[in-house]
């Protein structure tokens, strides 16, 4: 009984992340395919490639797949182009102009700033989050925070204290330097610990050895049968 439980748990540890990843990819594909305009490629344009009146479904599926590929290609090229533009003076001016326009609209201002902060936290370079540290809050309880490189007028360091497992939310705290404990680790290790709710370890080998070990004890071995009275 205990053996099949162990095998099932081990298989679930391996298959679980794979199935979730495939489902996310399938969901994203359906999302992109749903918003992709049909004007990019009509199924009738594929008649020379897939002839026949009975192959309309196949032509539609292929046309949908090609529309997704075209949309993703345009998005990637546009993203690289905008990223390259942001390194120039014109890009900085355009970014400030967009920020000023978005901040003038009451509702749009909140959504724009929140989404921009989340994108900078998730996709920004690691230098945007400075060295991770530990701070003692109360009764010996310590929490992981990140230096922002900013200091208040009275000498306190401004730290970002992320929540787990969603690091896009958290608290901005001002702490005296003597209450900060420096850590001998990089930003990636600290983020791994926070994102995994304390279970992750960037230095450990991923795979079957990861996760919570399952120790199975055979009760028959743990409690050997006592000799009967007939053996005396």
Three-state helix/strand/coil letters over the chain: CHHHHHHHHHHHHHHHHHHHHHHHHHHHHHHHHHHCCHHHCCHHHHCCCCCCHHHHHHHHHHHHHHHHHHHHHHHHHHHHHHHHHCCCHHHHHHHHHHHHHHHCCHHHHHHHHHHHHHHHHHHCCHHHCCCEEEEEEECCEEEEEEEEEEECCCCCEEEEEECCCCCCCEEEEEECHHHEEECCCCHHHHHHHHHCCCCCCCCCCCCCCCCCCCCCCCHHHHCCCCCCHHHC
pLDDT the model gives residue 213: 46
Contact 59, 46 (CB under 8 A): yes
Bridge partners of 173? 159
**Does position 229 have pLDDT exceeding 70, yes or no?**
no
**165 preceded by a cis bond (ω within 30 of 0):** yes
Taking the mean position of all CA atoms in its chain, how far away is CA 37?
Answer: 29
**pTM score of the predicted model:** 0.46
Check whether 217 has a pLDDT greater than 50: no
Q: What is the pLDDT of residue 216?
A: 43
Q: What is the pLDDT of residues 195-212, one digit of tens each?
A: 887 776 555 444 444 444
Among 28-32, 36-40, 141-145, 184-188, the least confident range: 36-40
Of 90-99, 123-132, 182-191, 202-211, minimum mean pLDDT range = 202-211
Question: Are the beta carbons of 159 and 172 closer than 8 angstroms?
Answer: yes
For the chain, how far is it from start to end, CA to CA, in angstroms?
34
Per-residue confidence (pLDDT) for residue 75, from 0 to 100:
86
Position 222 scores a pLDDT of 47
- Check pLDDT > 70 for residue 230: no
Give percent above pLDDT 70 in the chain: 72
Whether 78 shows a pLDDT value over 80: the answer reads yes
């Amino acid at each position: 009984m205990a053996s099949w439980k162990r095998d099932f748990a081990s298989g679930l540890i391996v298959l679980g992340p794979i199935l979730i990843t495939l489902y996310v990819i399938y969901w994203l594909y359906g999302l992109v395919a749903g918003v992709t305009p049909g004007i990019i490629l009509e199924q009738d344009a594929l008649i020379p490639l897939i002839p026949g009146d009975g192959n309309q479904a196949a032509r539609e599926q292929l046309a949908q797949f090609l529309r997704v590929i075209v949309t993703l290609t345009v998005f990637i090229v546009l993203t690289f182009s905008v990223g390259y533009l942001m390194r120039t003076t014109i890009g900085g001016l355009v970014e400030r102009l967009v920020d000023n326009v978005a901040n003038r609209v009451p509702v749009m201002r909140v959504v724009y700033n929140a989404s921009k902060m989340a994108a900078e936290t998730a996709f920004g370079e690691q230098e945007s989050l400075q060295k991770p540290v530990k701070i003692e809050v109360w009764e010996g309880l310590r929490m992981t925070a990140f230096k922002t490189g900013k200091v208040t007028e009275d000498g306190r360091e401004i730290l970002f204290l992320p929540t787990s497992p969603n690091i896009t939310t958290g608290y901005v705290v001002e702490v005296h330097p003597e209450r900060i404990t420096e850590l001998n680790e990089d930003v990636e290790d600290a983020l791994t610990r926070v994102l995994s709710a304390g279970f992750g370890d960037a230095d450990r080998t991923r795979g079957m050895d990861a996760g919570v070990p399952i120790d199975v004890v055979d009760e028959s071995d743990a409690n050997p049968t006592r000799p009967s009275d007939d053996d005396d």
